[in-house]
A and B are shown apart, each in its own frame.
Chain A
Amino acid sequence: MKLLNLKAYKISLVKLSLLTLPLSIISSCSEDFLEAVPETTVSEATAFDTPERILSQVNGLYSTLKSNYVDPDGNILGFLSGRYQIFSDIRAEEFKNQTTNVVTGYDVYQHTNGGDNTYLTNMWTAGYLAINRANTFLAGLEANSDKVSAEIAAQYRGEAKFVRALAYFSLVQFFAKPYTMDNGASPGLPLRLQPESTSANNDLPRSTVAEVYTQIIKDLDEAEAELAADNGSELYNIIRAHKNAAIALKTRVYLAKGDYTKVSTEGNKIVSTTAPFTSPINVTHALEPNIRAVFTAPFTSSESIFSLAVAETNTAGTQNQIGSYYNYAGGAFEYSINAAAPGIYANPQWRAVDKRKTDLTATNPGGDVYLTKYSGQTPFTDYVPIIRYAEVLLNLAEAEARVGSQTRARALLEAVHHRSDPDYSFGTLNQSELISAILTERRIELLGEGFRSNDILRLNQPIQSIGAGTSINPTDPRYTFPIPVDEVNNNPGIQ
């Protein structure tokens, strides 16, 4: 007797064997079937694993300042790549809007922008992204201090603090009342110094303006100590921070704070006592004989203390880059220079023979004057000048004029002016005339570099807005930019 009636079971066996096929494959579905890990981004666990990756993060901090950061809608958030500087310059009397385009600042120009303005919000977001990336980097570097030498680690720390200070300083100029108005007693910015990567800690009140300045100066003092004296190459001495960059930025910060003595202290570290003015320590800085060269490739003039590097692969998007706004030929010609008073173009201190007029401005067929400081040619790869030696000289000149040697102040002023217009005579100047001439010189020399609104505000002057058709007084709510609505909505402590 057979144990099994094979014939009767044959069909069932065939069927069962068919069944086992999928079942066996499914059970072989290994545990990691559901494991899907990012293949084109680096995980937080390994982001500090090698010295190269740590260096990449340092570079990443600079590109964040520039902000090549693309938001989920595909927009590049503009920060110091140009939009910040442009928004500072178009609020007052120097430029005239040509295209009535809100995307390129028409409402900032007219002072109709509110806390909902997309581009100011983006700027706030990009500035704080730079800050959080710096905080994240500092914490990550601390936890991985064995990956690089102590010397390198210190340098990187200094760079991160420099980036953080520059970001805070830029934001506090726009979104808070000037320090000089009430010695920094006004609400400043939420002061974030810890890395953030979770949903916690949305709630953080604004620190006072003074507290923000204190942090900026602390960061820059530490950065000065930690940064390299020399980054080892002409290029890295411009596109990455070094000791002189931190010192130079301090002259700007103290000037905004109205602490002229400190401006002198810091300025004197990197400006020789007498002309020709050069930096006696660390990287050698001096005025470039021909100002046009400062704004011409390869952008590695000794006058440039800190610039943001740009290449074809990392331009900031058409409507965020400084190169496209002002130029008529090849640029988008969003803003022309206001050739009439009270615009600086009509100021007698800026003569027609001045190189800054002949080489850095032009007139289009329609008769509009425009700025050619930046290349108007696609792909707009001009390095973005952030700190140059001419500014340091003018910062120091103003401080000297106010609280130091007027002779030295005048020498500094003339160094800057005579480079471009050697035959100009300032005549005799009393102290207030000297200060006024220096302030006028800033408008000429730094036109289109983002200084105008910040200078008006630190001096508590009214903004003579062409766009709004009126003077905007320091008491006017339009005088500074409102805190973005996005921050107000998500940070209960902000009010």
Chain B
Amino acid sequence: MRKILLLSLFLLSALLNEAMAQNRTITGRVTDATNNEGLPGVTVLIKGTQIGTATDAIGNYSISVPAEANTLVFSFIGYTTTERAIGNSSTINVTIGADAQQLSEVVVTGYGTQLRSEFTGSVSSVAGESIQNRPVQSFDQALTGRAAGVNIVQPNGLLNNPPVIRIRGVNSISLSSFPLVVVDGIPISTEQDVSVNTAAVNNPLGDINPADIETIDILKDAASTSIYGSRAANGVLVITTKRGKAGRTKVTYDGWAGVNKAVRLPELLDAQQYIDHKNRALANALALNPNAVNASQRDAQGRGFFPNYNADGSMVNTNWYDEVYRTAFSHNHSLTMSGGTEKTTFYFSGGYSDQEGFLVNNSFERRSGRFNIAHDVTNWLKLSANLNYNNTINNTPPSGSNPGSAFTSGGLGRLAIAQAPNLAPYTADGEINVQPGTPYIGRGNNLVPITWYNPVAVRDLDRNRAENNRLISNLVAQVKLLEGLNFKSAYSWDRGNSENVTFWNPISGDGWGFNGFADNNTFRRNNWNWINTLQYQKTLLEKHNFNLLVGTDVQKTRLEYWGAQRQNLTDPFFTNFQGSFGINLAGDNGIGQRAYESYLGSVSYNFDGKYFISGNFRRDGNSALSPENRWGSFGGTSVGWTVTEENFFKTSSLSNLLSTLRFKASWGRVGNGNLPSDYGSYTTFEADIYGEEAGLGFNQAGNRDLRWETSTQTNVGFDLGFLANRITLEANYYHNNIDNLILYAPQAPSKGIPNNRILTNVGSMYNKGFEFAINATPFNNDGFSWSTNLNFTTNKNEVTALTNDGSPIIGTTGSLENTSITAVGYPVGSIYAVKTAGVNPQNGRRIFINAKGEQVQYLHQGGTQAWTYLDGTVAPRVSGADAQIVGNALPKWYGGFNNNLRYNNFDLNFLFTFSGGNYIYNGTQAGLRDQRHWNNSVEVLDAWSESGEEAEIPRPVYGDNVSNGSAFANDSNVQKGDFLRLQTATLGYTLPTTLFGKTGINSLRIYTQVNNGFIITKYTGVDPEISTNGNENTTPGVERNSIPQGRAITFGLSLGF
């Protein structure tokens, strides 16, 4: 509402400025929004004329303006074209390129570029500056909320965790839904298959320094993506790295440093509360079953939990958060030099990032270098080369926060909340407190064994490290064959080596059972790509504009990995793989190869910038499909009509208000060949060993009919621009029908098919929704400017068919808990849990609703009365087999609201993100209310205690892992996920240029930034955007034992010479 008011105010003020001016000279300065530096060479035109000038070396201009002129147009390659009403001003200072969300001139479409005004597909563009200088490890983590249709979720606060990116919904079930990422033309490897150890996540996109990115164009509909054919079903992120510009060599330094801290941690019982609560639960249990705990685990009064004391006599009261989390310090630096001559331009950058996680001993370090050069060899031959080398090192103790590890006993996220608070991390002698003969913490005076590892042992003695060395390089030759006819050949090489190191200590933790465990492996990925295109651009009779492109694209990726596992340390002195162990086993070993061969063509035509039509075609071959079915044809077409270019419109009075009106529509069919296996069509036998004997067994049922999964995508929309595009609205409706879904089709386990699944083309689903993006610059005066972007997307996902008999696919969290289901008629990965009907006020028992819809209450240790109907008669046991669909896990709407304000030398940016309409399974809460020896959240203090009490938590009975949800998921832990978050806010100040004198310094800006400033949500878990199962399509919206998110505050400076 407030926004609308402001817009109306702006409209009013714009109308007031409609006074005629006299013939006169106007001067001013054009500055770059990123650093307030003067921009040389900016074209300044009087709108509707050819009268113009250009800015000088420091960005100043002077132009003589005729009386009837009312608008100046400022344009510069790579920057937003800005128009300014002249009004009565004699000085007009302009800052350009300020907002990433404003429509930039050019869309990078992968194999070429197109003017945005002529592009009829659907694309969102994000400028590099809006994602750089953020305390993140990879650029994709900073894209949240920036672009319509793009939903990005950071799974948790573990450093370098790849985000979950969904463009216009979840577009597959068994295949990856991660978009294709193209960097300077080459599709780079994004799969996390380079990291198999369970603790150190390895995000391949962390190998790109965000500071090197010029723009990210996100291609969303088939008309834009079909040129990528089978690679494009999840959308395409086209990343263009920075280039030099002819002229003075510019040197910039960017640096930031900051702190990061875990937020929204649940409040836990302290030692006294823990002892009291557990003993109370124990008494309740023993009253029901005298054998509920062993006699050795309780005293004569039935108590099992007792205080422990420090040397000074004080009671041990350990806040395990203090042992596991910290205030982390990070700093990041990048230095770039760019420039060139008319013939040669270069860009060089070096970066260093040293980040600590708020999880103790979690760290990320990146050293990066990039060199981009372009050279015009002759007037018909242009060569360019990009060379990017990175080294990243990611260290972490076991966190239980990467996909599949939610229930790892050694996960620190879980240990921090579950470990008993009345136990000390260290003994009086300063040794790590361990119960002799066990991997667990010393139980002290407790009689009940506490079967959690000592977190400080896991934190300090267990290590996981992933180190990547990666070279991404390409060489491009462009040959101008004839005027308008260009040939381009680009060869790219993406070579990555990863080394993963795991060591688990023999004292307390997962390594205890092995008496020390080490697992090292190395991965080598070789990925090359060669693209040849021939492009012909021609304008006939001035108004017929043609653009034709044909090309070939071949790519081969080979992955080889090998490693070893070592167990049984000969001496606890050794703390690494290289030490001495009694047992040496093969580790992760394998070879995979994937090849693509493609032929592509594209044609676009427009008449006079008014009518547009274009088409793409691609024929793809993919080695991962069966030989008989590996070729597929894909394509798309789009049309557009720019009404505002029509003469009838230009002459209408509406043209003063409405500057752009364009309708567009597209349709196309793309494929998805992101198969999870390189060899899914083969039936194979795998070797194993039986005792000392060689063994062999059927291990994969292949499918010789494996063929393409296809997405049929429709997009219709319009672009509106008001008042010289100071306000623009882009609206789209999209519909994506996915057929021949490649599913790991579940098989009846009794068939004995290995893994109970076969990759099969069965099933269909759709995604549909609306996307809106509003950009506006309500104020843009000399002293004050404000530009804003609001994007909003809706999505409806529904599975319309699965296997022939419609068997649903159950999604499992951490290989243990069934939390999700993909079933016909529902969105992918809906929350699947047993329904409940609160707590019976009469007796404090949880009431479950069984599969028949009957209310059944549970009494732990209740013997024959464990399961009863509310009238007390015995009922059949309720279990996870009674689970039902309780809610969709995919957000129905999401978006971002971004604002840039500038007041003199101060700038302020803030980005809100929001999402909702989804449900989250808060499995962590089940653990926090578990009535075993685990610590609980303070909520259990309000558990049911007397007849008639309305309580949320049932009467505590020691050992009860059913009532609150550990034994199977129930809907008392399912909550709505709506939220509004201040994603980031930055306050900057640019020092006046006059301060620098002749130091050579051109600009200096200092800023402070907060990330994850606050969140407004009714969700009670650590974060509504959590994704314990990472990128898994079939188990979204689950929180289970992951570490939380952090809040980061940074200070930075940008210095330009």
Using a CB–CB cutoff of 8 Å, the interface residues on chain A facing chain B are: 11-12, 15, 18-19, 22-23, 26, 29, 33-44, 47, 52-53, 55-57, 59-64, 66, 68-69, 71-75, 96, 98-103, 106-107, 110-118, 121, 124-125, 128-133, 135-136, 189-190, 192, 196-199, 201-204, 235, 239, 309-314, 318, 324, 328-330, 332-333, 336, 340, 364, 366-368, 378-379, 383, 466, 468-471, 477-478, 482, 484-492, 494
Indicate whether A59 sits within 8 Å of B585 (C-beta atoms), given known contacts A36-B624, A314-B688. no
Which residues 668-713 of B have a CB within 8 angstroms of A? 678-679, 682-703
**Are B816 and A367 in touch, CB under 8 angstroms?**
no
- Which residues from A are CB-within-8-Å of B749? 121, 124-125, 128, 484, 486-487, 490
- Which residues from B are CB-within-8-Å of A125? 749, 752, 756
Which residues 511-568 of B have a CB within 8 angstroms of A? 513-515, 530, 532, 552, 554, 556, 567-568
Which of B686, B760, B816 touches A41 (beta carbons < 8 Å)?
A: B686
**Are B805 and A469 in touch, CB under 8 angstroms?**
no
Which of A197, A471, A484 touches B701 (beta carbons < 8 Å)?
A: A197
Interface string of B779-792 (1 = CB under 8 A from A): 00000000000000
Which residues 749-774 of B have a CB within 8 angstroms of A? 749-758, 760, 762
List, sorted by A's number, 24 A–B pairs whose CB atoms are closer than 8 Å. A19-B487, A22-B530, A26-B554, A38-B678, A38-B679, A41-B687, A42-B687, A44-B685, A57-B685, A60-B690, A107-B967, A110-B959, A116-B881, A132-B698, A133-B752, A196-B752, A198-B703, A311-B691, A312-B583, A332-B439, A368-B296, A378-B513, A378-B515, A489-B746
CA–CA, A378 to B692, complex, Å?
A: 18
- Indicate whether B47 reaches chain A with its CB closer than 8 angstroms: no
**Are B294 and A336 in touch, CB under 8 angstroms?**
yes
- Which residues from B are CB-within-8-Å of A309? 690-693
Residue of A nearest to B593 (CB): A36
Residue of A nearest to B744 (CB): A72
The minimal Cβ–Cβ distance linking B611 to chain A, given in whole angstroms, is 33
**Are A112 and B747 in touch, CB under 8 angstroms?**
no
**Are B451 and A41 in touch, CB under 8 angstroms?**
no
**Are A29 and B597 in touch, CB under 8 angstroms?**
yes
CA–CA, A368 to B703, complex, Å?
A: 54
- Which residues from A are CB-within-8-Å of B437? 328-330, 333, 364
Which of A73, A133, A378 touches B568 (beta carbons < 8 Å)?
A: A378
The minimal Cβ–Cβ distance linking A233 to chain B, given in whole angstroms, is 11
- Indicate whether B17 reaches chain A with its CB closer than 8 angstroms: no
Using a CB–CB cutoff of 8 Å, the interface residues on chain B facing chain A are: 198, 288-289, 291-292, 294-296, 380, 404, 407, 437-439, 449, 451, 477, 479, 481, 487, 489, 513-515, 530, 532, 552, 554, 556, 567-568, 583, 585-586, 589-591, 593-597, 621-624, 627, 630, 678-679, 682-703, 745-758, 760, 762, 803-805, 807-808, 810, 812, 815-816, 818, 861-864, 866, 876-883, 932-933, 959, 961-962, 966-968
- Which residues from A are CB-within-8-Å of B591? 39-40
CA–CA, A235 to B880, complex, Å?
A: 44
- Which residues from B are CB-within-8-Å of A471? 864
Question: Quick one: which of A131, A378, A470 has the most chain B CB within 10 A?
Answer: A378
**Are B451 and A68 in touch, CB under 8 angstroms?**
no
**Are A379 and B808 in touch, CB under 8 angstroms?**
no
CA–CA, A199 to B567, complex, Å?
A: 40
Contacts A36-B593, A199-B758 known; 4 new A-B pairs at CB < 8 A: A47-B685, A63-B690, A487-B749, A490-B746
- Which residues from B are CB-within-8-Å of A492? 805
**Are B514 and A99 in touch, CB under 8 angstroms?**
no
**Are A202 and B805 in touch, CB under 8 angstroms?**
yes
Which of A23, A66, A190 touches B748 (beta carbons < 8 Å)?
A: A190
**Are A366 and B750 in touch, CB under 8 angstroms?**
no
**Are B752 and A38 in touch, CB under 8 angstroms?**
no
The minimal Cβ–Cβ distance linking B291 to chain A, given in whole angstroms, is 6
CA–CA, A37 to B683, complex, Å?
A: 11
**Are B684 and A490 in touch, CB under 8 angstroms?**
no
- Which residues from B are CB-within-8-Å of A74? 198, 404, 815
The minimal Cβ–Cβ distance linking B568 to chain A, given in whole angstroms, is 6
The minimal Cβ–Cβ distance linking B1027 to chain A, given in whole angstroms, is 17
- Which residues from B are CB-within-8-Å of A39? 591, 593
- Which residues from A are CB-within-8-Å of B753? 132, 196-197
- Which residues from B are CB-within-8-Å of A314? 688-691
- Which residues from A are CB-within-8-Å of B621? 34
CA–CA, A264 to B481, complex, Å?
A: 94
- Which residues from B are CB-within-8-Å of A33? 554, 556, 595, 597
Indicate whether A469 sits within 8 Å of B697 (C-beta atoms), given known contacts A56-B687, A313-B585. no
Residue of B nearest to A192 (CB): B750
**Are A477 and B876 in touch, CB under 8 angstroms?**
yes
Which of A61, A69, A75, A114 touches B815 (beta carbons < 8 Å)?
A: A75
- Which residues from A are CB-within-8-Å of B959? 100, 110
The minimal Cβ–Cβ distance linking A69 to chain B, given in whole angstroms, is 8
- Which residues from B are CB-within-8-Å of A41? 679, 682, 684-687, 699-700
- Which residues from B are CB-within-8-Å of A66? 690
Which of B481, B595, B689 touches A311 (beta carbons < 8 Å)?
A: B689
Which of A75, A113, A383, A469 touches B863 (beta carbons < 8 Å)?
A: A469
**Are B752 and A118 in touch, CB under 8 angstroms?**
no
CA–CA, A314 to B568, complex, Å?
A: 15
**Are A489 and B808 in touch, CB under 8 angstroms?**
yes
**Are A18 and B407 in touch, CB under 8 angstroms?**
no
Residue of A nearest to B531 (CB): A22
- Which residues from B are CB-within-8-Å of A133? 697-698, 752
- Which residues from B are CB-within-8-Å of A40? 589-591
**Are A367 and B296 in touch, CB under 8 angstroms?**
yes
Question: Quick one: which of A38, A132, A310 has the most chain B CB within 10 A?
Answer: A38
Residue of A nearest to B294 (CB): A96
Residue of A nearest to B805 (CB): A492
The minimal Cβ–Cβ distance linking B128 to chain A, given in whole angstroms, is 31
**Are A26 and B684 in touch, CB under 8 angstroms?**
no
Which of B552, B876, B882 touches A26 (beta carbons < 8 Å)?
A: B552
**Are A197 and B698 in touch, CB under 8 angstroms?**
yes
- Which residues from A are CB-within-8-Å of B407? 103
**Are B678 and A36 in touch, CB under 8 angstroms?**
yes
CA–CA, A192 to B701, complex, Å?
A: 17
- Which residues from B are CB-within-8-Å of A71? 755, 815
- Which residues from A are CB-within-8-Å of B695? 56-57, 59-60, 62-63
- Which residues from B are CB-within-8-Å of A116? 818, 879-881, 883, 968
Indicate whether A486 sits within 8 Å of B479 (C-beta atoms), given known contacts A59-B695, A192-B752. no
The minimal Cβ–Cβ distance linking B481 to chain A, given in whole angstroms, is 5
The minimal Cβ–Cβ distance linking A49 to chain B, given in whole angstroms, is 11
**Are B961 and A100 in touch, CB under 8 angstroms?**
yes
CA–CA, A197 to B760, complex, Å?
A: 12
The minimal Cβ–Cβ distance linking A436 to chain B, given in whole angstroms, is 24
- Which residues from A are CB-within-8-Å of B883? 116
**Are B689 and A102 in touch, CB under 8 angstroms?**
no
- Which residues from A are CB-within-8-Å of B807? 202, 489-490
CA–CA, A290 to B855, complex, Å?
A: 56
CA–CA, A18 to B623, complex, Å?
A: 29
The minimal Cβ–Cβ distance linking B557 to chain A, given in whole angstroms, is 10
CA–CA, A43 to B698, complex, Å?
A: 9
- Which residues from A are CB-within-8-Å of B532? 22-23, 26
Which of A22, A57, A121, A366 touches B697 (beta carbons < 8 Å)?
A: A57
**Are B690 and A129 in touch, CB under 8 angstroms?**
no
- Which residues from B are CB-within-8-Å of A203? 748, 805
- Which residues from B are CB-within-8-Å of A132? 698, 751-753
**Are B748 and A202 in touch, CB under 8 angstroms?**
yes
CA–CA, A410 to B352, complex, Å?
A: 82
**Are B554 and A128 in touch, CB under 8 angstroms?**
no
Indicate whether A489 sits within 8 Å of B752 (C-beta atoms), given known contacts A47-B696, A133-B698. no
**Are A466 and B291 in touch, CB under 8 angstroms?**
yes
**Are B685 and A112 in touch, CB under 8 angstroms?**
no
- Which residues from A are CB-within-8-Å of B439? 332
**Are A490 and B689 in touch, CB under 8 angstroms?**
no
CA–CA, A310 to B695, complex, Å?
A: 13
The minimal Cβ–Cβ distance linking B402 to chain A, given in whole angstroms, is 12
